[in-house]
Amino acid sequence: MQFLYHILAYFKNINWNLLEAVSSIKSNKLRVFLTAAIISIGIASLVGILTSIDGIKNSVSDSFSQLGSNAYFIRSIRNDRGKEGGVTKKNYPEIKYRQAKEYIKRYQGYGTPTISTQVTRTAELKYKSEVTNPNVFVEAGDHNFLDVKQIQLQSGRNFTKSENESGVFLAIIGAKVKSTLFKNNEDPINKFFSARGNKFKVIGVLEEQGSSFGGGGDNRVIVPIETSRKLMSVARFEITVMVNDLDIVENDMTYSTNLFKILRGDPIGSENSFEIERNESLDSELEEITGYLKIGGFTIGFITLLGASIGLMNIMLVTVTERTTEIGIRKAIGATPRVIRDQFLIESILICLIGGLGGVTLGIIFGNMVTIYIGGGKFLIPWLWIIVGLLISTVVGVLSGYIPAKKAAALDPIESLRFE
């Protein structure tokens, strides 16, 4: 029975302290707002960065999964003049177009190869009085590009082999490009739009895909690979091979490695002067990269929150000093040091939770805006980071409020009543 009495008394004190904390917050709105804003900025930066990383990762993963694990890529090794293990890394020349083209010509494996390259991510297209934003993704591929990448057409047709080899100014446009340039359901097929001083004839429209960080999503244009060479002098060419039988992908990769080493003139027994990777390995690399990015996001958020917690502690110490007389009166009428301590601790936690809720909301909005702006896909609600953000807010509130609360609990009631 006595135990139950103590439990009820404890919850009664908690409830009373909660009401006191709310009353104190209401009477110091500006101070609480500024303090909560500091916490909010820290939580917003943490949740926003992590949300955008997750959104981009999901989008890139979706792009990879469209191909499946029976696809592999041949691309140039990214040059890095740094050192690894005390040894300077060797730089290799980019894959030249003639090498990629010769590979396609000689390839006699079990799959279907295609050449592709990125032309630009900042194209502005014009049709009559309509103009797109300067963020249209233009890429180039050969006549096998759509089939290998498993991209579907909504209307129109693909490039023919002869059209691709002749480098004519044809284009296949994404759903967003169509809706931006061609209003009132106007059929874009066989219409001409201009970009970079050239006129392109639309021969196809892609099915709506949604945003895709890895490939422009619906806000893209595909042109023949030979045409891209007229639009830019330097390009990074990539070969994608889609193998029908999953069990022979590794064998086909070995065949392609040997063939491409011959085309590149790599000495027998030397390391590859190019990268050849399966779709699965790219997905695992993505996991590793996003892991490092999340560590960076946590670090930035931690530094911001550290400054916020110091600011909150300072404000709570000032609050204890201002309310010294109030503390003395409460102790004189029977309040224990524990009750006083809990009052200021709860107040600190409430302020942090107010800031945390605001920060989580801002972080979700900010993270999704960044992701969607760069083509990162659907709106994401990061439940994990919401919980983490609120937990961190509570921990910051406890840590920042403990010293001021302990100081308040240790005040002598007689000295407190004399304080002016």
- pLDDT above 90 for 60: no
pLDDT band at 65 (very low <50, low <70, confident <90, very high): very low
The pLDDT of residue 252:
93
Count H helices, E strands: the chain?
13, 14
193 pLDDT tier (thresholds 50, 70, 90): very high
Confidence class of residue 108 from pLDDT cuts 50, 70 and 90?
A: very high
pLDDT band at 227 (very low <50, low <70, confident <90, very high): very high
pLDDT band at 284 (very low <50, low <70, confident <90, very high): low
| pLDDT average, residue stretch 239-268 | 89
Q: What is the pLDDT of residue 214?
A: 46
Q: What is the mean pLDDT of residues 339-351?
A: 78
As a whole number of angstroms, the distance between CA 344 and CA 156 comes to 69
| Strand-strand pairing, 170-173 and 153-156 | unpaired
pLDDT of 220: 92
Cα separation, 333 vs 341, whole angstroms: 16
Q: What is the pLDDT of residue 420?
A: 53
State mean pLDDT over 64-77.
Answer: 74
HSE on the CB side for 129, CA within 13 Å? 1
More confident residue, 142 or 68: 142
Distance spanning both ends of the chain, measured CA to CA: 44
Q: Are 234 and 55 in contact (CB under 8 A)?
A: no
* Average pLDDT of the residues in 173-189: 93
Report pLDDT for 11: 53
Residue 412 CA to chain centroid, in angstroms?
Answer: 53
Query: Which residues are 114's β-sheet partners?
Result: 240
How far apart are the C-alpha atoms of 112 and 200, rounded to whole Å? Answer: 27
Q: How far is CA 166 from CA 163, 226, 292, in A?
A: 5, 7, 44
- Find the helix or strand (DSSP H, E) in which 319 lies: helix 279-322
3-state DSSP percent of the chain in helix, strand and coil, to 5: 55, 15, 25
Q: What is the pTM of this model?
A: 0.58
**Of the ranges 47-61, 108-122, 273-287, which is most confident?**
108-122
Instruction: Give residue 402's pLDDT.
Output: 76
pLDDT (tens digit, 9 = 90+) per residue, 120-135?
988 999 999 999 999 8
What's the rounded Cα separation, in Å, for the pair 150 and 206? 11
% of the chain surpassing 70 pLDDT: 80
CB 279 within 8 A of CB 111: no
Is residue 206 pLDDT above 90, yes or no?
Answer: yes
The model's confidence at residue 347, banded by pLDDT at 50, 70 and 90, is: confident
Among 418, 412, 420, 396, which Cα is nearest to 38's? Answer: 396
Q: Mean pLDDT in the chain?
A: 79
Distance CA(195)–CA(230), nearest Å, equals: 13
Task: Give the mean model confidence (pLDDT) for residues 225-235.
Answer: 86
pLDDT of residue 213: 46
Tokens linked to 64: 């990879």
Predicted pLDDT of residue 318: 76
Contact 46, 299 (CB under 8 A): no
